């Protein structure tokens, strides 16, 4: 694990905190008013170096260890959901690409790390899940793949420079599992047969563009493939989703902290029947429960981050478990924080209204809790089965 200059890291945290509470709030108001993330904001985040915090120095990043990077993401997540999304995705997508790119693709990877190029993770489909059951297909003809299928809920899919896209080799099926999958780095440049539909009208995380993508015999050079045929899900799941789920969990912690901050501020300021809300036992109970909820979730997220850094066997289960706990916590905290505000919290003019809407997106980002529970349950049962087998073997040989 790489070391870190604690003094420089503390200064970086202070820098981000000052931006989030100052310029970040002004950007949040503009995003909400216009329903769009201005290019200037993306460029500001890039120029600040906040899109390349986690990548290693050899890729042009700042090499901040994962668990420490999460401390920075926690702060950014107190800001607008679209700001957090930009920082989160740009600081994580390199993990999917880096183990598999060839020399000719490494330049695009470096541009992604620096923030010069935006890459959209393009896995989810309307008629399938987000794994081995993907239905988009490619058919190879010489040095070209012909791509067919549809993707949806693709974050940055409209404005991105590239789609990191996953498909199945024509003629293979879900019975082949990952063996029939491929990963392609496809330029968003008006390719023949590629239709990009702007699907950005969402409940929360306003301003982040989302796309529905349709492909009809779209030609993609075989040289655009990341890794080998059959490694598509290795690219999608191995390098990106595991740490990304931990990152989403920490973003839930950061947003919950913002909700709690707003609730405390309002409770201290609001007076009813001659008393501050903060003096009322029911409000104090809400704030105490929120504090405990946030602290517990944060501890689990950091444990999951350490498991990932150390390459522990329980890293995947802890990744999913941390997301389960953190997003459920966020729902409880934001609901109570809104309740502290009473009717005032329901109006757009109050920040808690935006926080409440943004919080809902994390319930399905990087896989729903229903999926995460399946991952955790499989790990629990596999561990129990292995322990039982070991006990049986010992008994037989004793």
Read off the CATH number of the domain in which 327 is found. Answer: 1.20.140.10
Whether residue 196 is found in the same domain as residue 260: no
* pLDDT(3) > 80: no
* Residue 64 within a domain: yes
* Residue 394 within a domain: no
Whether residue 333 is found in the same domain as residue 216: no
52-62 average pLDDT score? 95
d(C-alpha 277, C-alpha 270), whole Å: 6
d(C-alpha 173, C-alpha 162), whole Å: 26
CATH number of the domain enclosing 130: 2.40.110.10
379-384 average pLDDT score? 95
Summarised one tens digit per residue, pLDDT across range 210-259 is: 999 999 999 999 999 999 999 999 998 877 888 999 999 999 999 999 99
* Residue 199 within a domain: yes
d(C-alpha 106, C-alpha 109), whole Å: 5
Domains of the chain: total: 3
More confident residue, 127 or 251: 251
144-161 burial, b if ≥16 CB within 10 A, otherwise e? Answer: bbbbbbbbbbbbbbbbbb
378 CB-side CA count, 13 A: 9
CATH number of the domain enclosing 46: 1.10.540.10
Share of the chain above pLDDT 70, in %: 99
End-to-end CA, the chain: 42
Band (pLDDT 50/70/90 cuts) for residue 1 is very low
Nearest to 73 by CA among 90, 97, 96: 90
* Residue 396 within a domain: no
Detail the DSSP E strand segments found in the chain. Answer: 119-122, 137-141, 144-155, 162-169, 181-187, 194-198, 210-221, 225-226, 271-272, 275-276
Summarised one tens digit per residue, pLDDT across range 31-43 is: 999 999 999 999 9
Query: Token digits for 367?
Result: 């896989």
By residue count, the chain amounts to 398
Using the 8-state DSSP alphabet, how is residue 240 labeled?
I
350-358 average pLDDT score? 96
pLDDT of 2 reads: 56
Query: Token digits for 258?
Result: 């913002």
Whether residue 162 is found in the same domain as residue 101: no
With a CB cutoff of 8 Å and minimum separation 6, the contacts of 339 are 286, 345
d(C-alpha 194, C-alpha 2), whole Å: 42
SS3 at position 220 = strand
SS3 at position 376 = helix
- Domain hosting 90: range is 6-114
State which of 73, 93, 114 marks the end of a domain.
114
Share of the chain above pLDDT 90, in %: 87
State which of 182, 207, 229 marks the end of a domain.
229
| Averaged confidence pLDDT in the chain | 94
* pLDDT(190) > 90: yes
Whether residue 213 is found in the same domain as residue 351: no
Query: Token digits for 266?
Result: 């309002």
Beta bridge pairs of residue 219: 146
* pLDDT(173) > 90: no
Band (pLDDT 50/70/90 cuts) for residue 129 is low
Whether residue 133 is found in the same domain as residue 58: no
pLDDT of 178 reads: 86
pLDDT of 128 reads: 79
Whether residue 159 is found in the same domain as residue 188: yes
Whether residue 124 is found in the same domain as residue 108: no
* pLDDT(76) > 90: yes
Phi first, then psi: give them for residue 209, nearest 5 degrees. -80, 145
Whether residue 302 is found in the same domain as residue 164: no
pLDDT of 395 reads: 84
DSSP output for 240-304: IIHHHHHHHHHHHHHHHHHHHHHHHHHHHH-EETTEEGGGSHHHHHHHHHHHHHHHHHHHHHHHH
Whether residue 54 is found in the same domain as residue 129: no
* Residue 392 within a domain: no
Contact 226, 185 (CB under 8 A): yes
Count of H-run helices and E-run strands, the chain: 13, 10
Whether residue 377 is found in the same domain as residue 287: yes
* Residue 397 within a domain: no
pLDDT of 174 reads: 82
Summarised one tens digit per residue, pLDDT across range 262-283 is: 999 999 999 999 999 999 999 9
Nearest to 163 by CA among 210, 227, 104, 204: 210
Whether residue 168 is found in the same domain as residue 25: no
* pLDDT(187) > 90: yes
pLDDT of 131 reads: 77
* pLDDT(130) > 80: no
* pLDDT(109) > 80: yes
Predicted TM-score (pTM) of the model is 0.93
Whether residue 224 is found in the same domain as residue 244: no
Q: What are the Cα distances from residue 65, in Å, to 12, 74, 100, 128, 303?
A: 14, 14, 21, 34, 14
* Residue 248 within a domain: yes
Using the 8-state DSSP alphabet, how is residue 238 labeled?
I
State which of 97, 114, 131 marks the end of a domain.
114
Query: Token digits for 203?
Result: 């409940």
336-340 average pLDDT score? 98
* Residue 393 within a domain: no
């Amino acid at each position: 694990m790489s070391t870190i200059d604690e003094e420089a890291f503390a200064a970086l945290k202070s820098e981000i905190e000052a931006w989030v509470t100052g310029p970040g709030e002004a950007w949040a108001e503009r995003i909400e008013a216009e329903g769009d993330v201005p290019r200037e904001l993306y460029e500001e985040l890039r120029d600040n170096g906040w899109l390349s915090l986690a990548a290693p120095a050899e890729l042009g990043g700042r090499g901040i260890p994962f668990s420490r990077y999460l401390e920075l993401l926690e702060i950014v997540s107190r800001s607008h959901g679209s700001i957090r999304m930009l920082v989160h995705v740009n600081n994580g997508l390199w993990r999917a690409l880096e183990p598999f790119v060839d020399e000719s693709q490494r330049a695009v990877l470096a541009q992604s790390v620096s923030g010069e190029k935006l890459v959209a993770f393009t896995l989810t489909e309307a008629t399938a899940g987000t794994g081995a059951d993907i239905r988009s297909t490619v058919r190879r003809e010489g040095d070209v793949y012909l791509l067919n299928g549809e993707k949806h809920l693709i974050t940055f899919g409209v404005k991105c420079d590239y789609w990191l896209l996953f498909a199945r080799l024509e003629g293979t099926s879900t019975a082949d599992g990952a063996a029939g999958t491929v990963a392609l780095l496809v330029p968003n440049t008006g390719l023949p047969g590629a239709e990009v539909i702007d699907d950005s009208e969402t409940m929360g995380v306003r301003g982040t563009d989302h796309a529905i993508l349709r492909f009809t015999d779209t030609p993609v050079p075989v040289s655009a493939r990341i890794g080998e045929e059959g490694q598509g899900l290795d690219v999608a799941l191995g390098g990106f989703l595991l740490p990304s789920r931990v990152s989403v969990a920490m973003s839930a912690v950061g947003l919950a902290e913002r909700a709690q901050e707003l609730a405390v501020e309002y409770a201290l300021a609001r007076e009813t029947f001659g008393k501050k809300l903060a003096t009322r036992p029911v409000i104090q109970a809400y704030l105490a429960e929120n504090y405990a909820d946030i602290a517990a979730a944060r501890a689990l997220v950091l444990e999951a981050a350490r498991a990932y850094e150390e390459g522990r066997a329980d890293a995947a289960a802890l990744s999913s478990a941390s997301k389960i706990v953190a997003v459920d916590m966020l729902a409880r905290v934001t609901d109570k924080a809104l309740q502290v505000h009473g009717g005032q919290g329901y109006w757009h003019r109050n920040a808690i209204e935006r926080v409440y809407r943004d919080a809902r997106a994390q319930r399905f980002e990087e896989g729903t809790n229903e999926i995460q529970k399946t991952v955790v349950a499989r790990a629990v049962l596999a561990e129990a089965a292995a322990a039982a087998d070991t006990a049986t073997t010992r008994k037989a040989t004793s």
